[in-house]
Amino acid sequence: MSVVERLVVIVLFEGVDLLDVTGPPEVFSLVRREMPGPTGYRVVLAAETMGPVTTSAGVRVLPDTTFDEVAGSGIDTLLVPGSVETDGDGGYGVRARTDPAVVERVKTLARRARRITSVCVGAHLLAAAGLLDGKRATTHWSTARQLADEHPAVEVDADPIFIREGDTWTGAGISACLDLSLALVADDFGETIALRVARQLVMYLKRPSGQSQFSVPLEPVSRTRRVEELRHHILHHLDGPLTVADLAEHAHLSERQLTRVFKAELGMTPSAYVEAARVEVARGRLESTDATLERIVTVCGFGTTDTLVRAFRRRLGTTPTDYRRRFRSPLAEATPNR
């Protein structure tokens, strides 16, 4: 039986996020266990030298090879992780780091790769290398605005957990690296193998690419006081009418202006933000209270149970009932039915 082994090269550099480096290999390593024959991936960590690389977590990692050595190989998948630093005065909170030397290495290795992927803020390195121009891409929600500001040729969408544009894949933050890796496995070896690997990882579900990054709507990511005030207005009036017309009137803007501001500041339309916020609050109530679906519909402003169900399917790939069954806290039964 012929061996089908795909070479995955993970880029290492000082300060790289540890989970970005270790998460995908965990997924790829399980493929061999689930395949009927000798097949799967060969993962190598490549760095500038063979010396240890210190990750953002302080854990040191030893490379398998150097950039120069691997540049002559036939790379199946180039996987680019990311790194962040605290932003002292730019207003972003954190900033993605893009070392020019690493960017040049990524650009060179990308020419040898069949497929290019980024994990979390690694998208900033791909963008700096010109590999995302004219493409839709995602990254961790906390640096999405930075990516859009610094690379206007990239269509940044902060909502999905991963995006595929041909042979270029970009993933969202932290644990989404597992979802991205599972999607790569499905693309290479089929959905059945990917689902078997997901079971080995004890993952509740293999989330589709369109699913939103959790908790995005409730984070302080806007730059202007007007948008920040609108966000707080939405979160404190979820049970009321929050149409685009209502929000525009509240903000003293035209509906077109409001939509433009929301897309620029939050990366989504006002209606999408409202729905995401309602789903986020509903998730919390499903996890932590014994409230009925009808009560949650009222409190979160969905209008009908059908609307709630559709929103959950669209954003989380499941139903409210299934979500509660999987994630409800044991303390929920003791929590008042609010």
Q: Is the residue at 50 inside a domain? A: yes
Please identify which of the residues 78, 96, 120, 126 carries the catalytic annotation. Answer: 120
Q: Is the residue at 87 inside a domain? A: yes
pLDDT at 207 over 50: yes
Q: What is the pLDDT of residue 242?
A: 94
pLDDT at 335 over 90: no
Spatial neighbors of 240 by CB under 8 A, at least 6 apart, are: 246, 301
Q: What is the pLDDT of residue 90?
A: 52
Helix (H, G, I), strand (E, B) or coil at 115: strand
Mean pLDDT of 71-80: 94
CA dist., res. 45 & res. 61, Å (int) = 9
Active site residue 120: yes
Q: What is the 3-state secondary structure (H, E, C) of 140-157?
A: CHHHHHHHHHHCCCCEEC
Indicate the pLDDT class of residue 216, thresholds 50, 70 and 90. very low
For β-strands 4-11 and 39-47, DSSP reports them as: parallel
Residue 262 backbone dihedrals phi, psi, to 5 degrees? -65, -40
pLDDT at 18 over 60: yes
Instruction: Please say whether the dihedral angle defined by the alpha carbons of residues 284, 207, 17 and 144, taken in this order, is positive or negative.
Output: negative
Mean pLDDT of 63-83: 96
Task: Report the CATH number that the domain containing residue 85 is assigned in CATH.
Answer: 3.40.50.880
The last residue of a domain, from among 140, 171, 200 = 200
Host domain of residue 277:
217-334
Determine how many CB atoms are found less than 10 A away from the CB of residue 337: 10
Position with higher pLDDT, 68 vs 314: 68
Torsion of CA 47, 48, 50, 54, to 10 degrees: -60
Q: How many domains does the chain have?
A: 2
CA dist., res. 142 & res. 222, Å (int) = 10
Q: What is the pLDDT of residue 270?
A: 92
Alpha helices (H) in 58-175, listed in sequence order: 67-70, 100-110, 123-128, 144-150
The last residue of a domain, from among 200, 226, 249 = 200
pLDDT at 328 over 50: yes
Q: Is the residue at 210 inside a domain? A: no
Mean pLDDT of 27-32: 92
Contact 250, 233 (CB under 8 A): yes
For β-strands 53-54 and 60-61, DSSP reports them as: antiparallel
Mean pLDDT of 129-155: 94
Determine how many CB atoms are found less than 10 A away from the CB of residue 264: 15
Mean pLDDT of 67-93: 85
Q: What is the pLDDT of residue 205?
A: 45
Q: What is the pLDDT of residue 169?
A: 97
Question: Which of the residue ranges 160-164, 191-195, 234-238, 295-299 has the most confident prediction, judged by mean pLDDT?
Answer: 295-299
pLDDT at 3 over 80: no
| Domain shared by 48 and 175, yes or no | yes
Contact 171, 141 (CB under 8 A): no
- For the ranges 47-56, 127-136, 169-178, 240-249, the lowest mean pLDDT is seen at 169-178
Q: What is the pLDDT of residue 1?
A: 42
Mean pLDDT of the chain: 86
Mean pLDDT of 105-124: 97
The last residue of a domain, from among 171, 200, 229 = 200
Cα 208 to Cα 136, 162, 266, 318: the distances in Å are: 17, 8, 22, 11
Type of residue numbered 179: D
| Domain shared by 122 and 14, yes or no | yes
pLDDT at 212 over 60: no
Determine how many CB atoms are found less than 10 A away from the CB of residue 107: 15
Q: Is the residue at 209 inside a domain? A: no
Q: Is the residue at 226 inside a domain? A: yes
Torsion of CA 304, 209, 216, 242, to 10 degrees: -30
Name residue, tokens 């693309």: 187
Condensed to tens digits (0 to 9), the pLDDT of residues 259-280 reads 998 888 777 899 999 998 999 8
Indicate the pLDDT class of residue 237, thresholds 50, 70 and 90. very high
Looking at residue 335, the DSSP 8-state letter turns out to be: S
Indicate the pLDDT class of residue 46, thresholds 50, 70 and 90. very high
Helix (H, G, I), strand (E, B) or coil at 200: helix
Above pLDDT 70, what percent of the chain?
87
Above pLDDT 90, what percent of the chain?
58
Residue 69's Cβ-side half-sphere holds a number of Cα atoms within 13 Å equal to: 13
Q: What is the pLDDT of residue 227?
A: 80
| Domain shared by 227 and 124, yes or no | no
pLDDT at 125 over 90: yes
Condensed to tens digits (0 to 9), the pLDDT of residues 180-200 reads 999 899 899 987 888 788 888
pLDDT at 146 over 90: yes
Biggest CA pair distance of the chain: 69
Residue 104's Cβ-side half-sphere holds a number of Cα atoms within 13 Å equal to: 5
Cα 111 to Cα 82, 135, 169, 218, 300: the distances in Å are: 20, 17, 15, 39, 49
Spatial neighbors of 90 by CB under 8 A, at least 6 apart, are: 146
